[in-house]
Structure 1
Amino acid sequence: MGVPSRPVRRTDPERRFDLRATALFFLLLAIILCGMAFLVRTAAGAAERHPLWAGSLAVMGVAAAQLCRSRWRRFSTARYVRRAAEALEEAAETASDSLDAQGLVPDAAQTTAGPLVQGQEDTAIDLGSPADYTELDPDGFEHAIAELCARDHCREVEVVGGAGDLGADVIAVTPDGRRLVIQCKRYGDDHKVGSQDMQRFGGTCFTVHEADIAVLVTTSDFTAPALEYAQQCGIVCLDGQDLHAWRDGAMPCPWERAGIDP
């Protein structure tokens, strides 16, 4: 009669309990804990003996941590911005290729060449008729004045008129390197530029916009008090007749009139 034997359960060698490995683990853990306790105790003792030195180290540690954190944030932000720019560039190229394939992109030969003015929109400006300036809207009038500045060899011509412009509609650099600030007033014949308009421009053209030459040009005329104030402040005034003469080359440019009675 045989004796029934209990089946022996096989043990996974990887999961077998190893007394030596466990002992080594707890020994290393104890060494680490003792080392940390020793460092904490040493730091506390040093702080008691040299509180100023310890405080300085603590501040430097916090500052270093904040610096590393801010640099990491900037790095992450720059990485996201770079990815977004790459995505936008890829989308723009795709859209351009699509428009080109459909024949919607005009050829360079079909574009109209003209003076380069920063901020200029696709607005056709005919400077051949004296009535054109009064027929333009305020934005078109500003661009027309910028066109005249560019025609007469001004550099860095920029149209900046709009909400919050603080009186500056056109900014440029004259051929001799002076900063030119122009305010444009497209008024009707019965609406003259008054002293209040001139005073508002005079209060910002030199102090805020740092103009070397300040010019106020209008399609109408100026009142006597406005001309008197402009003369006192050194602002060059161009009325409708002067504007047409400037356009036709019958008078010097406004920046060449600086110092002449307005």
Structure 2
Amino acid sequence: MTMPVRRMSRPTGGTRRPFDLRATALFFAVLALALCVLGFAARTAASAAERRPVWVAVLCLLAVSAALALRRRRRRLSPARTAQRAAAALEEAAHTALEELEAPAPVAPAAFVPRQAGAAGPDLSSPAGLHAPDTVDYGALDPDAFEQAVAALCERDGCTAVEVVGGAGDLGADVLAVAPDGRRLVVQCKRYGDANRVGSQDLQRFGGTCYTVHEADVAVLVTTSDFTAPAVEYAEQCGILCLNRAALDAWSDGTGPAPWMLVDVSGPC
């Protein structure tokens, strides 16, 4: 008698897949690429937020509006109401961006104050004119503002044809004017710190052009600092008037004379 043989079935749920090195490496490569893309996107977003904060805010509002729309869509809310609210948020963001772009730039305070009423010289209160200060911290001005301030002093005290010509290629002249007595005035301005005095080389460069090139009758070098002894000696030889900070302040507040009043006769070296 033949006995039936019972076949044993293999368990199907307990088998394990063999380790695949290629698939594992591909998975980690894709993961690393995704992390790099996310990092680059985050860095780009941060850089954009620094350069264009207004537009980033607009995009964030749009993203929030879209998220709210999707959420309400899942809750089966009215699509028309969601669109209305998204449009309102977009309009508010656009208004905010326009206000930010159209905001006027801050206006820097004026470097000088107009002269007091009744002071000598023409009226300098018009925008086209120069502003002659009564009391100014000349050491706090930048070089361009210092030249403007000296020109304003010349015009305040009766000079005509006052012109600021300082800059590249000025050949040593920063301010040109005609003194009240008709002499041609040539001024070089040195806005130096207290520890940096005007040296003889500065005087030599100015002395080489003030008479021969600019045809000065009165040559003045004015500074917010002081002069070295060799510079003063050279200036005396060439007939150049040296105006240090103390003399400049005296000229400015009216306790000292204008520089052209200190020079009777001047000539080239």
Q: Flag structure 2 segments of 5+ consecutive residues without an equivalent.
A: 1-112, 116-121
- Per-residue CA deviation, residues 38-82 of structure 1 (Å, 9 max, x unaligned), is xxxxxxxxxxxxxxxxxxxxxxxxxxxxxxxxxxxxxxxxxxxxx
Q: CA RMSD in A?
A: 2.6
- Residue matched to 1:221: 226
Does residue 198 in structure 1 map to residue 235 in structure 2?
Answer: no
Which residue identity lines up with residue 213 of structure 1 in the other structure? Answer: V
**How much does 1:248 deviate?**
1.2
Does residue 184 in structure 1 map to residue 223 in structure 2?
Answer: no
SS of 2:237's partner is helix
**How much does 1:202 deviate?**
0.3
SS of 1:163's partner is coil
- Is contact 2:167–2:174 with CA below 8 Å preserved after alignment? yes
Does residue 210 in structure 1 map to residue 215 in structure 2?
Answer: yes
TM-score (norm 1): 0.52
Task: Name the structure where helix makes up a greater proportion of residues.
Answer: 1
Does residue 141 in structure 1 map to residue 174 in structure 2?
Answer: no
Counterpart-to-counterpart distance in 1, 2:131 and 2:114: 11
Q: Flag structure 1 segments of 5+ consecutive residues without an equivalent.
A: 1-111
Taking a change above 3 Å as real, the CA distance of residues 116 and 186 of structure 1, as seen in their structure-2 partners, is farther
Identity of aligned residues (%): 64
Match of 1:151 among 153, 156, 162: 156
- Residue matched to 1:247: 252
- Is contact 1:234–1:259 with CA below 8 Å preserved after alignment? no
TM-score (norm 2): 0.50
Counterpart-to-counterpart distance in 1, 2:208 and 2:180: 26
Counterpart-to-counterpart distance in 2, 1:148 and 1:166: 22
Counterpart-to-counterpart distance in 1, 2:258 and 2:129: 26
**How much does 1:127 deviate?**
3.9
SS of 1:149's partner is helix
- Is contact 1:167–1:201 with CA below 8 Å preserved after alignment? yes
Match of 2:135 among 128, 138, 145: 128
Instruction: Map residues 54-133 of structure 1 onto 2, 5 A cutoff.
Output: 126-129=133-136, 132-133=137-138
Taking a change above 3 Å as real, the CA distance of residues 126 and 248 of structure 1, as seen in their structure-2 partners, is closer
- Per-residue CA deviation, residues 126-179 of structure 1 (Å, 9 max, x unaligned), is 5424xx211111000000000000000001000000000000000000001000
Tell me the number of residue pairs that the alignment of Structure 1 and Structure 2 aligns.
146
- Is contact 1:245–1:251 with CA below 8 Å preserved after alignment? yes
Does residue 175 in structure 1 map to residue 180 in structure 2?
Answer: yes
SS of 2:221's partner is strand
- Is contact 2:220–2:259 with CA below 8 Å preserved after alignment? yes
**How much does 1:231 deviate?**
0.1
Counterpart-to-counterpart distance in 1, 2:225 and 2:265: 20
- Residue matched to 2:21: none
**How much does 1:252 deviate?**
1.3
Taking a change above 3 Å as real, the CA distance of residues 235 and 123 of structure 1, as seen in their structure-2 partners, is closer
Which residue identity lines up with residue 128 of structure 1 in the other structure? Answer: T
**How much does 1:251 deviate?**
1.4
